[in-house]
A and B are shown apart, each in its own frame.
Chain A
Amino acid sequence: MNISPDPWVWLAAFLTLCIFSFLYRDNVLYRFAEHLFVGVSAGYLVALTWHNQIYPNLIVPLFVEGNLFYIIPLAFALCYFARFVPRFNHMIRLPIAFLLGWGSGVAIPAFFQRDILRQTQGTLLVRDAFTRWDSGLWAVVILVGVVSTLIYFFFSRERKGIIKPTANLGVIFIMLGFGASFGYTVMARISLLIGRLQFLLGDWLGIIR
């Protein structure tokens, strides 16, 4: 056992135990750690916004370098505060419209390429997929899974005839997807616990290397 002499490690260990104490029940130590975290995060965000966004991207070019072009983004940014003045309330639409327009223009073609074209290509059965029996089998499973899941979400026709069993098959694929996601979520949560225990047992108490 090789306990850490570092006071910051002790502080981190104390705060970790404070948070873990919630597992027993809500208490003052947990609330202290929680409020401390919220306060520090808020302070960090304010400092970060100033130092990483406002100061280098607006203050320096406009007021230090004298680039008057930056008055335009400043005016757009100030429009956000128009919300607090009922008479100029409508001006908030300007920066929102700009952001929506720019964001949509940039994202839509890329989304189409990433999620529609390439994913559709990946679902198609091509000759290359059957060069090996296992990849061919998985290609068929993927095709059946995609089609049956899409049919499950097809609400324009009554579920009878061939649509009913196909949609039911789609439910099985959806459930398998949920199961995989849940399994991964459990793994992630256990990983977080392992990380904290590695810190407590290793960095703090020195029981493990």
Chain B
Amino acid sequence: MNFLESLTKIPRRIIFLTIAIAVAVPLIIPIGIPVNVMPQSKKLFDAVDGLTSDSKPVLISCDFDPQSLPELYPMLLAVMRQCFSRNVKVILMALWPQGTGMVEMGLEELSQEFTKEYGVDYVFLGYKFGVAAVVLGMGENISGVFPVDYYGTPLDSLQLMKPVRNYKDISLIVTLSTGDPGWRQWLLYAQSRYGARLGVGVTAVSAADVYPYVETGQVTGLLAGMKGASEYETLVQRKGYAEGIFRASQGMDAQSLGHLLIMIFIILGNVGYFYTRRKR
């Protein structure tokens, strides 16, 4: 077996090891590859940036669990940083039970940067089982679906929630979604049925499915995976809403090198394949 033939038989452990090194090294020694902001990320950023303290609140639904944390959690932090910096009121909730933990973690992290009052600047509704019934019910009456918030406080007693009855009183819904239930249900029921404005942040696996809805304007902006999160972080930084190192941006060097390596492996594999086929 010569060199070209051996390209089709690279041991998988070698591939794993090289990818691990290619991903780990840029995390330790950053290269600083610039982040190019895509129009669909900018669109969501602009939608939030167009809101003020007098605007209706933004509803952020954390429809993900710790498995999607590297991609979606930075989006949550970046969107909340932007909202808090602009004094836009935020309503948080989750269609995934584990999403509540993500929200609590985010609120704890941001409490060190912002002094915001619970019930006035933000509210956390928690998780409710039912998906379609929840999203449809919120279109009629949010307090009917969530009579109390995550901490057991009646919704009617929270200042932020007093003028909020249904989606008409929400300026923008942002779903950070890892699968079902998630963006599909928000688009199906909240956007299509009630005409709510919807921004979507998804894991990269789902991103290709969302593009058609961005094209038609059914979705107001899309954040696609870690790349989308890093773009949003970049925009938040450029506007001066926050500074420091952000996790998604930190990972983009590693992401780029990882992709480069996979492309090299694909090319090498194909070279070996075509050589072997020709030889036969």
Contacts and interface: CB of A to CB of B under 8 A. Distances in A.
Nearest to B71: A191
A122 B225 contact: no
Given A114-B218, A122-B212, A184-B205, A197 B129 contact: no
Contacts of B24: 197, 201
Contacts of A185: 204-205
Interface stretch (B79-87, B232-240, B244-252): B244-252
B193 to A, nearest CB: 5
A111 B188 contact: yes
Contacts of A172: none
Interface in B54-100: 67, 69-71, 97
Chain A interface main SS type: helix
Interface stretch (A61-69, A74-82, A102-110, A154-162): A102-110
Interface residues of A, number: 40
Contacts of B217: 122
B4 interface: no
Nearest to B98: A44
Nearest to A106: B132
A186 interface: yes
Contacts of B31: none
Contacts of A196: 70
Nearest to A51: B97
A192 B205 CA distance: 11
Nearest to A207: B28
A208 to B, nearest CB: 5
Interface in B123-140: 127-129, 132, 136
Interface in A95-147: 103, 106-107, 109-111, 113-114, 118-119, 121-122, 142
B278 interface: no
Given A107-B132, A191-B255, A52 B127 contact: yes
Given A24-B13, A121-B216, A192 B67 contact: yes
A150 interface: no
Interface stretch (B15-23, B42-50, B113-121): B15-23
Contacts of A121: 216
A170 B203 CA distance: 27
B215 interface: yes
B225 A198 contact: no
Contacts of A23: 13, 16
Nearest first, the 8 closest Cβ-Cβ pairs linking A and B are A195-B70, A122-B216, A188-B204, A187-B204, A194-B251, A191-B226, A190-B258, A184-B204
5 contacts: A185-B204, A188-B204, A191-B203, A193-B19, A198-B251
Given A110-B189, A191-B251, A198-B27, 8 more contacts: A23-B13, A52-B128, A187-B204, A190-B254, A191-B204, A192-B67, A194-B23, A198-B251
